[in-house]
Homo-oligomer: A and B are copies of this chain.
Amino acid sequence: MNNSYDAIVVGGGVNGGAIAYQLAKRGASVLLLEKGRIASKASGAAAGMLAAQAELEDDGPLFQLAKKSRAMFPKLAVEIKEASGIDIGLINKGMLKIALAEQDMKEYNKIISIQQACGEQAEWLTGEEVRKLEPNLSTSVMGAMHIENDGQVEAPQLTVGLLKSAARHGVVIKENVEVESVKSTNGMVTAVMTNEGEFISDQVIIAGGAWSNQLLSRTGLPLETYPVKGECFSVTTHQALLTKTIFSHECYLVPKKGSRIVVGATVKPHTFNEQVTVSGISQLMEKARNILPGIVEAEWEKAWAGIRPQTADGLPYLGAHPELKGIFVATGHFRNGILLAPITGEIIADLVEGKAPKVDVNPFRVDRLTKQLT
């Protein structure tokens, strides 16, 4: 009986953590299973931008989802600090989506109009205005879309913070436990089989990032997702080079605590290989130097990579399994896994409890692409 839980979450990344945290706060007994170590894959590798407006440009369902999730961070930061002692490093100093070519300028001004029409803050700054805010940016920056509300967090701390807060609310976390299959009777989930035996629950949430497919395909639900490698590196200085996050088509530069900067990220689809290549670093360095010339004198810290799950239509999967009752899916967040974690936790907790989420989750339902095919 001590192997029986109200819900089992598969995946010890940021979304698995957010889901387990929400469920436990609502009173459920939860087991979280992680095949390796917690926070060790894409969630631990992310740069932590909350780029709702910078990354998502039009007024679609993902934009709405992202804005709602972004708004949840201040309260979540306080909760995690209280429950676990961990500071998630939430910084709300805004983002500059910089234009490096004429066409960027046109495009960004159009986006500003769209976003302002949705009631969002967004403004155009000339190159001079940008360099007044960030004097170390190069003159190749022709202007920027200034987004005051796109902040950032420390992604590894958010992930560990959610998981340790979940544990404080009673969630049992088991690492190095791999789910091999999901057991069911009469179309209803009853348990998961793992390399450390069976764990019983009639609610199983699959939040395994790019590795979710593997398990789902054995439940008769092959999702249309694929892995995309992203490589990053970081540098440190004593005097800060930047205040705001710099976002461009080419790369992003995220100023972290202690005058550290994370530069990312390459986009290499269809591989699970987590190795950092010389070409990846070399390209990022060149792009970063073009934007922030002073970075060449910064101290090299380290490089790393993460594997993110992308979907055919670019939207995440958030919903119930269409055939097997008791399975829920949260994956396919691609570059927005950190940003969307708070709302993902709430949506899935609502679905598990049988409540309607506050957000319309129809655009993210799990069978949307397969259904279209038939």
Contacts and interface: CB of A to CB of B under 8 A. Distances in A.
Contacts of A259: 84, 164, 167-168
Contact of A238 (B167, B213, B239, B296): B167
Nearest to A282: B285
A231 to B, nearest CB: 9
Contact of A286 (B167, B174, B282): B282
Contact of A300 (B168, B172, B303): B303
A153 to B, nearest CB: 11
A282 B303 CA distance: 13
A91 interface: yes
A211 B195 contact: yes
A242 to B, nearest CB: 12
A180 B222 CA distance: 13
A296 B273 CA distance: 16
Nearest to A38: B238
A140 interface: no
A235 interface: yes
B258 A281 contact: no
A81 to B, nearest CB: 8
A160 B258 contact: yes
Nearest to A274: B176
Contact of A273 (B167, B176, B282, B303): B176
Interface residues of A, number: 61
A307 to B, nearest CB: 8
A361 interface: no
Contacts of A86: 257-258
Contacts of A176: 271-275, 307
B175 A275 contact: yes
B300 A281 contact: yes
A293 to B, nearest CB: 10
A313 interface: no
Contacts of A175: 273, 275
A102 interface: no
A177 B227 CA distance: 12
A161 interface: yes
- Top 3 closest A-B pairs, CB basis? A85-B257, A87-B87, A279-B296
20 contacts: A36-B36, A84-B257, A85-B89, A85-B91, A161-B258, A164-B238, A164-B259, A167-B259, A168-B239, A168-B259, A175-B275, A176-B272, A176-B307, A178-B272, A195-B213, A277-B297, A277-B299, A279-B297, A281-B285, A282-B296
